Amino acid sequence: MAKVDVRRIKKLNSAEISGGPIVYWMSREQRVFDNWGLLHARELAGDKVPLIVVFCLVPSFLGATLRHYDFMLNGMQQVEKDLRKLGYDFVLLSGQPDETLPAFVSNIRAGAVVTDFDPLRIKQQWQENVGQKIDIPLLEVDGHNIVPARFVTDKREYGARTIRPKIQRLLPEFLEEFPELASAEVKGEGFPVVDWKQVRSSIKVDETVGPVDLIPGESAAHAALDEFVTYGLGAYAEKRNDPNAEATSRLSAYYHFGQLAPQRAALEVAARPTGESVDSYLEELIIRRELSDNFCLHTPNYDSLDAAPEWAQKTLSEHSADRRAYLYSYEDFEQARTHSALWNAAQSQMVHSGFMHGYMRMYWAKKILEWSASAEEALSITIALNDRFELDGRDPNGYVGALWSIGGVHDRGWKKRSVFGSIRYMNERGCRRKFDVDAYVRKWG
């Protein structure tokens, strides 16, 4: 059986492995195939003990709405089906993981728990609590970053230019083909099939933000990747900054929910003839995305303006009293009630489709800074709206995207101007130079 690279694995407590079943606590990587954590759990189970996959469903999670729960639960239902075909048990626990999981592993006398690397505070806290409460090993495996986040560097990087050479140096070692997940050799305990209808009716989340039309699940994610690589990739470099062209991959929600391994996408894209589009897709998928994990891993307050570089905090504070030409509240922004038809169209694209084009996200967040009472308020409104409506929200990319736009993270100082100080500025004139603003407003306004 192929071995998972030890550089992906971190032991989170000091307990020793015992002879019971191996539990894979699925969390960030919600997929059966191309999943290093699950593969490592399988490796530990070998032909000696059963492997049981557990997912802990929390009744509410960082303001997630029905839009997010629906996408996740549909994907999870497919996970259960695919696991059972391979002979593995799947168990859905309801409640806080740091309460339900220790009780579960103790009941079944598990031998070890393997889980996913995730730099977000709440996940790190759960893992720390679980690690303390169980008397068997808790092992974290990085299945999200191609070059594992804990290995590539041990500090917060200044920006793409400093992390890029470190990732590129290690990429040939880590961008490897995934081994296949072997079917179960030892029969599980026969846990009952999950009653998904009952699960759906038991969750109590905000239903005013409803599901969108992106098809959830691992097979849909693979189909979307195939389609992008076959038909979309060629035009990526040229058209990716035009929101009307819809030329980006639209795979971010699949990556966010772990329904698609970024490493699978990188392998498929890298196998295409080299060119500007391949390079620029790999730059976003690998360098920019892994830079976000690096930032959150080494910056526990990744959603606060205190996490912005000193020069950015200073310039924003020097301009905090500047007169704002327009001033809007959270509700004004949420309901797209600004004076700008372009901004309202971007907000409306996000609210109705669960996805705002990447170029528009930058413009959208920078205008929230320009039209809010303070930079702190702007950051909190940006994150709240992003996490509520974007299907890919609550992601390191989102926190870093907001802090890049408002707090100069991974950027440098630019020409000084009102409100922004030396934070990079964007305006509608710039958008008009890049794409047909009126067509975008007609479509989404």
Ligand X SMILES: Cc1cc2nc3c(=O)[nH]c(=O)nc-3n(C[C@H](O)[C@H](O)[C@H](O)COP(=O)(O)OP(=O)(O)OC[C@H]3O[C@@H](n4cnc5c(N)ncnc54)[C@H](O)[C@@H]3O)c2cc1C
Residues of this chain that interact with ligand X (CB under 6 A) are 240, 248-252, 255-256, 284-285, 288-289, 292, 358, 361-362, 365, 386, 390, 392-393, 395, 397-398, 401-402, 404-405
Based on CB atoms, which residue is closest to ligand X, 140 or 293?
Answer: 293
State the burial class of residue 319 (Cβ atoms within 10 Å of its Cβ: 0-12, 13-18, 19+).
Answer: middle
9-11 vs 138-141, strand pairing mode? antiparallel
- Return the DSSP state at 15: P
- Name the minimum Å distance from CB 209 to ligand X: 14
- What is the C-alpha to C-alpha distance for residues 323 and 330, in angstroms, rounded to an integer? 19
- Name the minimum Å distance from CB 370 to ligand X: 14
- Name the minimum Å distance from CB 383 to ligand X: 9
Based on CB atoms, which residue is closest to ligand X, 105 or 247?
Answer: 247
- Name the minimum Å distance from CB 429 to ligand X: 19
- Name the minimum Å distance from CB 253 to ligand X: 8
- Name the minimum Å distance from CB 266 to ligand X: 10
Residues 43 and 159 sit within 8 Å (Cβ to Cβ)? no
Q: What is the DSSP string of 336-357?
A: T-SS-HHHHHHHHHHHHHS---
- Name the minimum Å distance from CB 380 to ligand X: 13
Based on CB atoms, which residue is closest to ligand X, 13 or 162?
Answer: 162
Based on CB atoms, which residue is closest to ligand X, 57 or 251?
Answer: 251
Place of tokens 């979309």: 232
Based on CB atoms, which residue is closest to ligand X, 9 or 269?
Answer: 269
Strand ordering across the sheet containing 89-94: 9-11, 138-141, 112-116, 22-26, 51-57, 89-94
Helix (H) or strand (E) run with residue 22 in it:
strand 22-26
Based on CB atoms, which residue is closest to ligand X, 88 or 355?
Answer: 355
| Residue 409 Rama label (left phi>0; alpha psi -120 to 50; beta) | beta
- Name the minimum Å distance from CB 174 to ligand X: 17
- Name the minimum Å distance from CB 214 to ligand X: 11
- What is the C-alpha to C-alpha distance for residues 134 and 112, in angstroms, rounded to an integer? 9
In a 3-state reduction of DSSP, which class is residue 327?
coil
Based on CB atoms, which residue is closest to ligand X, 31 or 289?
Answer: 289
- What is the C-alpha to C-alpha distance for residues 274 and 268, in angstroms, rounded to an integer? 12
Please name the residues in contact with 347: beta carbons below 8 A apart, sequence gap of 6 or more.
333, 334, 336, 356, 364, 385
Based on CB atoms, which residue is closest to ligand X, 174 or 364?
Answer: 364
Residues 240 and 288 sit within 8 Å (Cβ to Cβ)? no
In a 3-state reduction of DSSP, which class is residue 54?
strand
Based on CB atoms, which residue is closest to ligand X, 28 or 250?
Answer: 250
